[in-house]
Chain A
Amino acid sequence: MSAAAAPVLVVRDAQKRFGAVHALKGVSLEAYRGEVLALLGDNGAGKSTLIKCVSGVHSLDEGEILLDGEAAAIHNPAAARHAGIETVYQDLALFDNLTPAQNFYCGRELSFPSWLPRGLRFLNVRAMDNEARSVIDRLKVKLPKFDAPVALMSGGQRQAIAVARATVFARKIVILDEPTAALGLRESRKVLDLIAQLRAEGNAVILITHNMEHVVELADRAVVLRQGRKVGELKPSRDTQQELVSLIVGAEA
């Protein structure tokens, strides 16, 4: 693929301050389609801040974000989603009282007629159900019951629903913030398979995790942050695993 050579996301010299705290000190990174980029760092290293800047929760003080080579103005989460960036937050942002399909489209329901204000339009339930069902089937997510509220589903199933929702709308990048942190072994495995599938479908995946096994297994590239700076970028493997850990904690390798 020649298109794979051009990064879909470029962050250049990102600077972010929260009062006295200098959270990002000139971080740059690139993400490519069909690639899993692991974003590593200890707590407070700045990875969450960086992700929040890309997904529109914060905006950068200095530096720029390019999408497909063009400067993108991402001032709020809605703008980020509109630009094709989907984020799966740690708390999943799922509605327990809604079904998977309702969760998929919550806040961007398919509705008609278009001349009415959004809130007063009528739901196109059938189209949303069909689309959600086909995505869930495609991603091989196993759910106990398609039209039961999410409250009745396990942690792994919920995580899978959140990831699947992101894939419906992501046209460029899927960001996953510690997707396996709260899961058991078997459920983690399912989610990792799902991430691999997202990559296979040509998405750029940015994965935040503390689990080195997962990084080595899944990530094509790893960027390590420490105290707001990028301190390393390498291809994770069994051989470099120790080096990665050293970079994260700041010990001399």
Chain B
Amino acid sequence: MSELESRGAQGAPSHAAVRAGGDALSWSLKLLSVGPLLILVVLVVAVAIVTPAFVSPRNIGNIMAQTAVIAVVAIGQHLVILTRGIDLSVGANLALATVIGALVYTVTDSALLVALAMLLTGAAVGAVNGLVYVFGRLPHPFIITLATLSIARGLALEFAVGHTTMRGMPEPITIVGGGTTSIFGLIAIPNSFFVVAGVVALVFVMAKAMVWGRWIYAVGGKPEAAVQMGIPVRWVLVSVYVIAGLCAGIGAIILSGRTEAGSPLYGNLLELDTIAAVIIGGASFLGGRGHLGHALIGAVMIGVIRNALNLLNVDVFFQMIAIGLIIVLAVEADVLRNHLEARVRVLQAGRLN
């Protein structure tokens, strides 16, 4: 953003003070918009100085692998939050998907079928969320996704019949989830990183270049207006929950591949991690504001904090406290941004002459 005025600039000298105020405001808004990235960079530099092991190729690979699941699921969560929604079921959905995948593996060796089963499970739970929310005329998706959280977790435990881990995954899936690819022999990039990159590229194109993406922002910005403008709001909403479910399914492939197992206990509190990632990254909890980068920055930040505190031998409970504090910071930044924008509006009205 350059200065907020270009045509208002010909104002009388008496407006100089107004303009200076506007510049300060626009600077603050700019700072807020790059805030999360700035914090991440500062964090990385600080940790790297304290523990040089943090920036070793091996550890960077670790962070990537540990962040992949949160990142992929957070991308789906981000789309849901853009429409003023929330999906609490993604963690349980992921667990159910790994269990179904493991069950399919007991009857067939086909990696394709196992992967497909996980994706379909994820999408199916997402479809239930979206359809019940929209056509059940629920006021908010909180309750239905809370219900499917419980149902999916229960189904996962039921289908696992007493096992907490169901060992074994087809080799291609373990390669996708746990393998690495060496780049010029310098650094071993986890294959899951490429999966995340692929999902990011796909969702980026859909959200930025396609009509569907514009509709998501419209629905999140003002649902009533979206109806008046003839946008198929209901189907837009259903689609984001299906995609959030699909992302949970992709997360299931990565996690079960890395651990070479399915488990009904996977993805515990993943819904909170992904919501935290989206909010920490700088997307608005009120909907309509934010982009893919926010979800990714947030996911990486969570990964970096966990990894750094591990390296520093900090108690695991402090990780939770640290992430909680950052969430508060992020939400306050969102509030501050809305406040500053209201001030900019008033200045705009004052500048007309």
Residues of A at under 8 Å CB distance from B?
77-78, 81, 89, 91-98, 102, 106-109, 111, 118-123, 142-145, 148, 151-157, 184, 186-187, 190
Say yes or no for B202: interface residue by CB 8 A criterion: no
Say yes or no for B27: interface residue by CB 8 A criterion: no
- Report chain A residues within 8 Å CB of B217: 95, 97-98, 102
A96 and B222 form a contact (CB under 8 A): yes
A119 and B215 form a contact (CB under 8 A): yes
Q: Per-residue CB proximity of B197-232 to A under 8 Å, as 1/0?
A: 000000000000111101101101110111011111
A102 and B210 form a contact (CB under 8 A): no
A153 nearest in chain B by CB position: B348
| 28 A–B contacts from the bound complex (CB under 8 Å) | A77-B230, A89-B228, A91-B224, A93-B229, A95-B226, A95-B288, A96-B221, A98-B217, A98-B221, A102-B214, A107-B229, A107-B230, A107-B231, A119-B210, A119-B236, A120-B212, A122-B209, A122-B210, A122-B211, A123-B210, A148-B4, A154-B346, A154-B348, A155-B349, A156-B349, A156-B352, A157-B352, A186-B353
Binds A, one of B5-13, B58-66, B258-266: B5-13
Across the interface, B210 reaches (CB within 8 A) one of A106, A121, A190, namely A121
B5 and A144 form a contact (CB under 8 A): yes
Minimum distance in angstroms from B237 CB to a CB of chain A = 12
Q: A95-B288, A154-B345 are in contact. Are A143 and B7 (CB under 8 A)?
A: yes
A96 and B288 form a contact (CB under 8 A): yes
- Report chain B residues within 8 Å CB of A93: 222, 224-225, 228-229
Minimum distance in angstroms from A152 CB to a CB of chain B = 5
- Report chain B residues within 8 Å CB of A122: 209-211
Task: Report the bound CA distance from A92 to B220 in whole Å.
Answer: 16
- Report chain B residues within 8 Å CB of A184: 349
Task: Report the bound CA distance from A148 to B224 in whole Å.
Answer: 22
- Report chain B residues within 8 Å CB of A94: 222, 225
- Report chain B residues within 8 Å CB of A89: 228
**Interface hub of B7, B220, B345 (most chain A Cβ within 10 A):** B345
B219 nearest in chain A by CB position: A95
- Report chain A residues within 8 Å CB of B210: 119-123
B218 and A95 form a contact (CB under 8 A): yes
A151 and B345 form a contact (CB under 8 A): yes
Chain B: interface residue total (CB-CB under 8 A):
40
Say yes or no for B109: interface residue by CB 8 A criterion: no
Q: A81-B230, A96-B221 are in contact. Are A109 and B7 (CB under 8 A)?
A: no
**Interface hub of A97, A102, A120, A184 (most chain B Cβ within 10 A):** A97
Minimum distance in angstroms from B70 CB to a CB of chain A = 25
- Report chain A residues within 8 Å CB of B224: 91, 93
- Report chain A residues within 8 Å CB of B6: 144-145
A145 and B346 form a contact (CB under 8 A): no
A95 and B348 form a contact (CB under 8 A): no
Since A119-B232, A120-B211, A144-B4 are in contact, a sample of 10 more A-B pairs with Cβ atoms closer than 8 Å, ordered by chain A residue number, is: A91-B225, A95-B217, A95-B221, A96-B221, A109-B214, A142-B7, A142-B8, A145-B6, A157-B352, A186-B353
A152 and B222 form a contact (CB under 8 A): no
Q: A120-B210, A148-B1 are in contact. Are A108 and B344 (CB under 8 A)?
A: no
Minimum distance in angstroms from B130 CB to a CB of chain A = 15
Q: A94-B222, A184-B349 are in contact. Are A145 and B211 (CB under 8 A)?
A: no
B352 and A106 form a contact (CB under 8 A): no
Across the A-B interface, the 10 shortest Cβ-Cβ residue pairs? A107-B229, A154-B349, A154-B348, A95-B221, A93-B225, A97-B288, A97-B221, A119-B212, A78-B230, A107-B230
A187 and B225 form a contact (CB under 8 A): no
Say yes or no for B341: interface residue by CB 8 A criterion: yes
Across the interface, B8 reaches (CB within 8 A) one of A109, A144, A148, namely A144
Task: Report the bound CA distance from A155 to B350 in whole Å.
Answer: 11
A183 nearest in chain B by CB position: B349
Minimum distance in angstroms from A210 CB to a CB of chain B = 21
Q: Per-residue CB proximity of B318-353 to A under 8 Å, as 1/0?
A: 000000000000000000000001001110110111
B213 nearest in chain A by CB position: A123
- Report chain B residues within 8 Å CB of A102: 214, 217
**Interface hub of B6, B211, B220, B289 (most chain A Cβ within 10 A):** B211
Minimum distance in angstroms from A72 CB to a CB of chain B = 17
B8 nearest in chain A by CB position: A144
Task: Report the bound CA distance from A142 to B1 in whole Å.
Answer: 18
Q: A95-B218, A148-B4 are in contact. Are A106 and B348 (CB under 8 A)?
A: no
Minimum distance in angstroms from A57 CB to a CB of chain B = 8
A125 nearest in chain B by CB position: B209
Minimum distance in angstroms from A167 CB to a CB of chain B = 16
Minimum distance in angstroms from A113 CB to a CB of chain B = 12
A79 nearest in chain B by CB position: B230
- Report chain A residues within 8 Å CB of B288: 95-97
